[in-house]
Amino acid sequence: MHDSVVTLFRRTRDVSTAAALATAGVSGILLALGVGGSADWQVWLAVIALAVGIPHGAMDHVVTVPGMQPARMALFIVAYLSVVALAVLAILTWNVLGFALVVLMSAVHFGIGDAAFLKELSRSQSPPKRQAPWWVYAIPAGALPVVVPLTSDQADDALEFVNPVLQQWHQGAGPYVLWLSLLAGVVGVIWLAGRRQYRDALDVIALGALALLSPPLVAFAVYFGFWHAQRHTARLVLEMPDAITHAKDHSPAAGFVKAVLPGLPALLGTMVVAVAITMITGGTLERDYLWIVLVIVWALTVPHMALTWRLDKRALAVAGELPQMARR
């Protein structure tokens, strides 16, 4: 990995961790002071964070299936969007079941993706250090930002604004899932610190603090837009020769921007389609727009997760930590 790309990875990591800790700190102070407020601003913060995060998946079909001829690429995009459309229809039809599957899928995707990001970064170390198994980090890295906010005491209020039928999505198992997620975080921190992976342990602590101290919509917004999307975009730089060239010739930030720009049309398309679906279904922008945007993002995650797994598998396999069968 070129020095400028290593710098990009490290800066991206530092910014995302700082964003989580700062948000947790401010939320903790407001919580201690008993300062509440309308959830409206949280809803729109979530929309903004979704907008920031959407472009990171728009180039997955290019970097994971390179060299495809235009005709085949067109068919691939049609199939991709068809899967998204079916997923949107399924979630809108079976709200609770669809949401529960999305929670599971997102926790797996976020955790493995974050672990793969760290493995890509660790490859730049010389000599490579012996580390804890990747899943020691991946499990809490996925569960803490996804499961904990959705099973906390404030979850019902947040879900009320998203879609009231989702309030009992866990069917009464929320406390158990919450404590298992927190236990995974504690075990992860202890294990990582025992291997002297203090920076990795700090990441887990930051995710736990964000999930526990921040309102659910705020925790989700900051994590998705300023943690997951940023780290995934940094990984895309490795798959885009133009982005690497910009990082080498100009600056790490220039390489990052080069990886973001191709995804902006997808952002515009998602927001326009969300408005259209909201109007067609008889909803209002003030009340229903966030729900529709979330449904589209969750639906996009279905093919996005499948394509990203190829990158994740390669990163983890290079680290020598995937079983032989999983590498095929």
CA distance 256 to 246: 9
Q: Taking a C-beta distance cutoff of 8 angstroms, is the pair 124, 3 a contact?
A: no
Supply the pLDDT for residue 328. 39
Over residues 39-71, the pLDDT tens digits come to 667 777 777 877 887 777 666 655 656 666 777
Per-residue pLDDT at 38 exceeds 70 = no
Top-confidence residue, 62 or 12: 12
- Residue 56 among known ligand-binding residues: yes
Supply the pLDDT for residue 324. 42
**Distance between alpha carbon 322 and the CA centroid of its chain, in Å?**
22
Burial class (CB in 10 A: 0-12, 13-18, 19+), 3: exposed
Residues in the chain: 328
Return all residues near 139 (Cβ < 8 A) that are at least 6 apart.
111, 184, 188
Supply the pLDDT for residue 23. 92
Residue 88 DSSP label:
H
| pTM for this prediction | 0.85
Top-confidence residue, 190 or 79: 190
Over residues 108-129, the pLDDT tens digits come to 999 999 999 999 888 776 655 6
**Among residues 226, 311, 231, 266, which one has the least CA distance to residue 54?**
266
Supply the pLDDT for residue 92. 87
Cα–Cα distances in Å, from 171 out to 143, 260, 291? 18, 39, 20
Over residues 161-216, the pLDDT tens digits come to 788 888 889 888 889 999 999 999 999 999 999 999 999 999 999 999 999 999 88
CA distance 152 to 306: 29
Over residues 241-298, the pLDDT tens digits come to 777 777 777 777 777 777 777 777 777 888 888 889 888 888 777 778 888 888 888 8
Residue 36 DSSP label:
-
